[in-house]
Amino acid sequence: MSQTAVINKLGRTSYPERKVALYENLQNLAKSYSVIALCRMTKVRSAQLMAIRKKFKNEIKILTIKNKVAQRAFEQIFNDVKGLEFLNKELEGQCALMFTNLSPFKLNLTFDKNKIFMAAKGGDIAPNELVIPAGNTGINPGPVLSEFKESNVPTKIDQGTIWVSKDTIVAKPGDVISQKLAALLSKLDVKPIEAGVSVNYAIAEGLEFKEKDLKIVVQDYVDELIKSFQEALSLSVEAVYFTKESTPLLLVKAKQHGLSLAVEAGYLSTESVQLVLAKANAVAGSLSQQLSSKGYSPQN
């Protein structure tokens, strides 16, 4: 897009070259990659984003810009990139745009693996049950004892340091963490707040993916695949359908059936002779018992 087109769109008489380049870069990226993801930067530290940029520089292009700039740039290429008009409506708050050829699911899983835990701040919501474990805190006695007391954490002084007497729950899921509790947790190096980048919205080949759509538990899919494989293998064995996986099982099954048939027929072979003799002995023993019950005594 030319600089004139940008100027006309924004209704300006002049526009800095840097802004024009950014505007055009957004459009080129949107056309060049198959996936555009939106990540909201709530509780995402700049250092984390920089680390992700560095680690995935060859796979993911990340831009943090004003929403209005992105929306105006994208409006001009709605016909070129399917689903872009839906993405435009999601640009609210502080966002980062990510351009990649990775699937939205793989992108989200990649970010999940790179999340960290950080110290809580006053006003944060406890994501799960927060427990201060029993043991030596390594903290010297002093005014900090009052912080333990206010959080109902039992303590004792031993060997010149503060010890927590027993495991103590200081917050339940959904509780608001007070400033004082946050300070105490920080002193104890308890980092309960999970932080990192998550894909909140994405478009890929014209399809929309919302945050809930991208939340997948890999182990559940692994379990389903294992179950499906086992069921398919059982079916192929029952149907006598030969594959690389079913052939060993079919051969074992055929051998077992053949051996059972040989035993029933009294056919002697290396594999069946012991089973045939064992069966004959069992039949003879049963017959002997029946004769004895009728008053007949077997002759030696």
Question: Which tens digit of pLDDT belongs to each residue from 38-87?
Answer: 998 876 777 778 878 888 888 999 998 899 999 999 999 999 999 999 99
In this model, does residue 4 exceed pLDDT 50?
Answer: no
Q: What are the phi and psi torsion angles at 130 (to 5°)? A: -100, 125
Highest mean pLDDT among 167-171, 280-284, 292-296: 167-171
Q: Is the pLDDT of residue 243 over 90?
A: yes
- Torsion-angle region of residue 126: left (phi > 0), alpha (psi -120 to 50) or beta? beta
Report which of 159, 115, 150 is spatially closest to residue 132, judged by C-alpha positions: 150
Query: How confident is residue 236, by pLDDT bands cut at 50, 70 and 90?
Result: very high
pTM over the 0.75 mark: no
pLDDT digits (tens, 9 = 90+) for 75-132: 999 999 999 999 999 999 889 999 999 999 999 888 888 777 888 888 888 888 999 9
The stretches of the chain forming alpha helices (DSSP H) are 3-10, 17-32, 46-55, 67-75, 84-90, 104-112, 144-150, 179-187, 211-214, 218-238, 247-265, 273-293
Cβ within 8 Å of residue 186, ≥6 positions away:
119, 120
Query: Is residue 100 classed as helix, strand or coil in its secondary structure?
Result: strand
Binned at pLDDT 50, 70 and 90, residue 1 comes out as very low
Reported for 251-256, long-range contacts at CB under 8 A and 24+ positions apart, including other chains, are none
Give me the percent of the chain exceeding a pLDDT of 70. 93
Rounded Cα distance between 277 and 283, Å, is: 10
Give the pLDDT score at 15: 61
- pLDDT of 300 higher than 60: no
Span of 236-240, 241-245, 279-283 with lowest mean pLDDT: 279-283
Window from 71-80, 191-200, 223-232 with minimum mean pLDDT:
191-200
Distance in angstroms (rounded) separating the CA atoms of residues 173 and 14: 53
Q: Which carries the bigger pLDDT value, residue 49 or residue 226?
A: 226
